[in-house]
Amino acid sequence: MTGVRLSWIPRRAPLAVAAVAARGAVATAVAERLLDREDLAELRGVVGIAWLVVLGPEPQLPWIDGVTLLGVDPRAPGLLVPTTLDTDPPLALVARAMLRGDGGKPRAAPLAVLPEDFTLVSVASARTDDRRTLAAWVRARS
């Protein structure tokens, strides 16, 4: 959305929680909390250089101070967005542009939108119970 200023505004009613996202030290803490669990079968996750997104049923998601709760807005079913924030311009327009990607080639949905800078994270390849990858990611951040 070149030339259009995106901003977050408060949402009238929060969305149901479908995922958590975290960056930096909070992401590492989330990963460590997950590694302490015996069962990760209901969760799927994806990691990047400095971020982590975990999808699953709300009661199973790791709750740590500093995580961003993400949900799905019916106006933008291909995006996971902050549960308490909406966008200006309207989310349906933002979603169309975000999912279209550069050069009009569609991005792999669903996409998690990290609120700090509208970073887009494809969660289409999120894995279930991949402890080795998660442990290696934590070690690389230490």
Length of the chain: 142
**Model pLDDT, residue 44:** 95
Whole-angstrom Cα distance, residue 119 to residue 142?
24
**Model pLDDT, residue 3:** 65
In a domain? residue 6: no
Q: What is the pTM (predicted TM-score) of this model? A: 0.91
| Predicted confidence (pLDDT) per residue in 45-94, tens digit | 999 998 999 999 999 999 999 999 999 999 999 999 999 999 999 999 88
pLDDT band at 1 (very low <50, low <70, confident <90, very high): very low
In a domain? residue 99: yes
Q: Domain residues for 90?
A: 12-141
Whole-angstrom Cα distance, residue 112 to residue 119?
8
> Taking all residues of the chain, what is their mean pLDDT, rounded to a whole number?
91
In a domain? residue 3: no
Copy the structure tokens of residue 102. 């550069």
In a domain? residue 18: yes
Question: Per the structure, how many domains does the chain have?
Answer: 1
Residue 133, amino acid? T
